[in-house]
Amino acid sequence: MKKLIVVALILDLMLFFTSPALPAAAPTATLTLGWTDTSDNEDGFRVYRSTTGPAGTFTLLATVLSDAAGKLNVGRTVTYVDTGLAFSTQYCYQISSFNAAGESARTAPGCATTTAAPIVVPTPPVNLTVTVNQ
């Protein structure tokens, strides 16, 4: 009889202290950059980003490589998607092209401010317990 009570108590404690499921990843903002390829001999493009405005410091964010067809496709639109960004924040970008001979000058800065954070339904509470009061 005592063993049964102890097992029941352990099960109650396990249910009470079960950790809740992890919440889904917090939403983030995304910006899509687009530019026109004006060269037929680039190996790719370098994307620079500033979070301190168009006159701020730009750091290398990504490299977008050209494929064989892209090198011969002057006038094509090239895109890059910047993800995981903070909401209501200004981001500025510059693009350059490069090959074995070096890197071109960068474009003038292009800036955009991400949208405000969406209002999301909260996650439900977990581990509800009901106790009889005597």
The residue with greater pLDDT, 120 or 28, is: 28
Rounded to 5°, angle at Cα 109 from 103 and 114 = 125
pLDDT of residue 3: 46
pLDDT of residue 24: 59
| The pLDDT value given to residue 2 | 45
Residue 123, burial from CB neighbour count under 10 angstroms (0-12, 13-18, 19+): exposed
Q: Is residue 70 very low, low, confident or very high in pLDDT (cuts 50, 70, 90)?
A: low
Mean pLDDT, all residues of the chain: 83
Cα separations in angstroms, 22 against 19, 54, 75, 78, 88? 9, 38, 47, 38, 26
According to CATH, the topology of domain 29-113 is Immunoglobulin-like (2.60.40)
- pLDDT on residue 69: 63
Q: In the chain, what's the furthest Cα-to-Cα distance?
A: 85
pTM over 0.85: no
Per-residue model confidence (pLDDT) at position 121? 87
Q: What is the pLDDT of residue 4?
A: 41
Residue ranges covered by each domain of the chain: 29-113
99 pLDDT more than 60: yes
pLDDT tens-digit series, residues 26-66:
789 999 999 999 998 999 999 999 999 999 999 999 999 98
